[in-house]
Structure 1
């Protein structure tokens, strides 16, 4: 009895991609910025500060960072499907328990655990698995899988905002937890490994990175820390920014939704671009776009302005994570791809945690969001400097070997 499908039907590779996109959309959409819709409701209900509430999300992202390292190493050794099932059950349970939480430490504990066991199991291992199914069009495949995450990051806060208005924040957590359990567990069962010949072909294609992993991993990790610190600010604080500027409620999630809808297209576009011009160059193009437009949000004063600007920013933002994921897969040995992805993304999630927290902290300190977004631009410039240095090093190494 076969445990995985025969590669003689190549279309099954795309079933894996679609299943991965759905899985990442639901799980990471909930953990990365799904709590943005809960910021003001939890503030009002419990009387906590913006920084204290933002830290719930930040601790979840720290959990993803640490869990991604552990689960990445495990995914190089045991079945990804098993790891995903653990992650799906953990995330659903944490959301259901959050509906009954009454103290800040309980939210911190639940979302750290959801990140460590849920997000850590449902990102780096899944992305590494998708890459292992492809010898050609790997960038496009990872871009599509990553696009699912982007769509989820728009839909989850949008749906959660309306659930909160209709049922209250506690019932919204219950409904999200039930939905996560009913969808993520079946999707996890589809996370099967490629047949041996496909895995060998994928390994052959990426068997000789131009730079030593001892240099690449630290450089990529610091670069990702910068880009994710920047991108976390609109993800976590765009909805509260719009609510404060425009005096609206759940409809503030609309621009975030369309921003992340545009990011879906951006993830696919920059994934395909990486296949054409190279992953590092595609990453540089996307992160330049994101950094150049970041500060524009604080100069908007109407809902119409947010609706028009959000998708323009979102298209470039969407390509950043695609560039990161493909670059890591290209510059690290195939046998260590899941663990390397977990290590680099640990810094990415730490950046998300830092960006989301500093957004609330600086808002409390200054009474506005200007310096929150300005700090995000500075983090993006640091990322560009490091990625540009990596590109120059790769170019010189390639020229020396020519």
Structure 2
């Protein structure tokens, strides 16, 4: 006989509140600026690389901020840290509506990333994982699905706001919406109660791999590569489609559909991680994304973009779920929030690199062929790294699962 872990029902409130917060915050900071690239180019006369750098600086702020805010949430609790983050993020977006120069946008988005999104992403992902002792893959998949929805929904909504209210009005209204929606959601977050058990034959899904430091380091290398790959279409699919003479609203609709499908993909790959293992699910999603990403450069009509984005979106979505569940499974709880902060920091580095190189290489070549080729190469290297981690941890993980059973 072994102890059956009793999981409180409130964990699902935390999951869905977290999913909605991630939808708005990560959709705004990770690639929300994609809808602004062409309008800001037309309004201010800046190059696409300079505008994409605004987004990259915000992501760098998120990367460094998460390194600080993850451990802070361990000490102070999830709610106050996340609440601070949503307020800062909303205020920075409102302030951006008054910006008129690049340095102002760079400064505001770094603050929004460091003190805003950096105080949201690692604490929330650690909290969701800690509320679930069994079935954490599905829970993390649902929470991260919110991020996918936001990464499609925010640019889609922004394209209509920009058309109706111009760039400054869109920034202002988005900031107000953040404060109205996310503050009440942040107040719903709580720390998980102590684990309660009853006598039965069941077990937790938590396992640990050794040595932990090596696992964290390998995941850092893997995530910087996978995010360099995935961030190129997230930031540059809309302008790529616009370059085919397609309207901005239709272009934004493609990425919106892609990321709506990604909602299902993140949940599906979370379930897959519970069934076959986190790293196996991660490798499957990585291979899917890598094989398909360069194909975007061959498409010339809107209907094909929609179909291709749906297929790509479902598989690409599993990459981040695979990373997050791998952290949950491979890292002990005592170091999990710090690990989320460290690993996701490198992930946001990858997002910043991918988004910036996409704009920079476009400015140099006048085409997205090379940027998407670089993305595909990063995907191949990521698959090699994750495969090596799987080989190194396979035996310890199998033993750990067997002992838990």
- Give the TM-score category using the shorter length: over 0.9
- CA offset at residue 115 of structure 1? 0.5
Q: 2:200 corresponds to which residue? A: none
Q: 1:197 corresponds to which residue? A: 195
Q: 1:4 corresponds to which residue? A: none
Are the structure 2 counterparts of residues 39 and 277 from structure 1 closer, same or farther at C-alpha, using a change threshold of 3 Å? same
Partners of 1:237 and 1:198 in 2: how far apart?
Answer: 48
Q: 1:63 aligns with which of 39, 61, 64?
A: 61
Q: 1:276 corresponds to which residue? A: 275
Are the structure 2 counterparts of residues 301 and 194 from structure 1 closer, same or farther at C-alpha, using a change threshold of 3 Å? same
Q: Give a deviation string over 1:272-314, Cα, whole Å, max 9, x none.
A: 0000000000000011100110001000000011011001000
Q: Give a deviation string over 1:168-212, Cα, whole Å, max 9, x none.
A: 01000010000000111111111101111269xxxx947751221
Q: 1:338 corresponds to which residue? A: 337
Task: Specify the SS of the correspondent of 1:246.
Answer: coil
1:231 aligns with 2:230: yes
Q: 1:175 corresponds to which residue? A: 173
Q: 2:304 corresponds to which residue? A: 305
Are the structure 2 counterparts of residues 226 and 162 from structure 1 closer, same or farther at C-alpha, using a change threshold of 3 Å? same
Task: Specify the SS of the correspondent of 2:119.
Answer: coil
TM-score (norm 1): 0.95
Task: Specify the SS of the correspondent of 1:101.
Answer: coil
TM-score (norm 2): 0.94
> Are 1:99 and 1:170, in contact at CA under 8 Å, matched by a contact in 2?
yes
> Are 1:362 and 1:369, in contact at CA under 8 Å, matched by a contact in 2?
yes
Q: 2:323 corresponds to which residue? A: 324
1:52 aligns with 2:66: no
Are the structure 2 counterparts of residues 198 and 264 from structure 1 closer, same or farther at C-alpha, using a change threshold of 3 Å? farther
Task: Specify the SS of the correspondent of 1:327.
Answer: helix
- CA offset at residue 245 of structure 1? 1.1
- CA offset at residue 383 of structure 1? 0.7
Q: 2:367 corresponds to which residue? A: 368
State the number of aligned residues.
Answer: 392
Are the structure 2 counterparts of residues 280 and 198 from structure 1 closer, same or farther at C-alpha, using a change threshold of 3 Å? farther
Q: 1:265 corresponds to which residue? A: 264
Q: Which runs of 5+ in 2 are unaligned?
A: 198-202
> Are 2:22 and 2:143, in contact at CA under 8 Å, matched by a contact in 1?
yes
Q: 2:117 aligns with which of 116, 119, 128?
A: 119
Task: Specify the SS of the correspondent of 1:119.
Answer: helix
Partners of 2:253 and 2:213 in 1: how far apart?
Answer: 43
Q: 1:134 aligns with which of 129, 132, 135?
A: 132
Q: Give a deviation string over 1:127-167, Cα, whole Å, max 9, x none.
A: 10011111111100000000011001111000000110011
Q: 1:3 corresponds to which residue? A: none
Partners of 2:214 and 2:191 in 1: how far apart?
Answer: 29
- CA offset at residue 10 of structure 1? 3.1
What are the within-5 Å matches in structure 2 for residues 247-262 of structure 1? 247-262=246-261
Partners of 1:268 and 1:168 in 2: how far apart?
Answer: 35
Q: Give a deviation string over 1:88-141, Cα, whole Å, max 9, x none.
A: 110001000000001100000000110111111111100100111111111000
Partners of 1:294 and 1:165 in 2: how far apart?
Answer: 29
- CA offset at residue 246 of structure 1? 3.0
> Are 1:133 and 1:198, in contact at CA under 8 Å, matched by a contact in 2?
no
Q: 1:165 corresponds to which residue? A: 163
- CA offset at residue 38 of structure 1? 0.5
Partners of 1:400 and 1:79 in 2: how far apart?
Answer: 33
Partners of 1:398 and 1:257 in 2: how far apart?
Answer: 37
Q: 2:288 corresponds to which residue? A: 289
Q: Which runs of 5+ in 1 are unaligned?
A: 1-6
Partners of 2:122 and 2:134 in 1: how far apart?
Answer: 20
- CA offset at residue 8 of structure 1? 7.6
Partners of 1:117 and 1:8 in 2: how far apart?
Answer: 35
The CA RMSD measured in Å over matched residues stands at 1.7
Partners of 2:127 and 2:138 in 1: how far apart?
Answer: 14
Partners of 1:264 and 1:158 in 2: how far apart?
Answer: 15
What are the within-5 Å matches in structure 2 for residues 76-95 of structure 1? 76-95=74-93
Q: Give a deviation string over 1:245-270, Cα, whole Å, max 9, x none.
A: 13322221011001001100000000
- CA offset at residue 70 of structure 1? 0.3
Partners of 2:286 and 2:381 in 1: how far apart?
Answer: 11
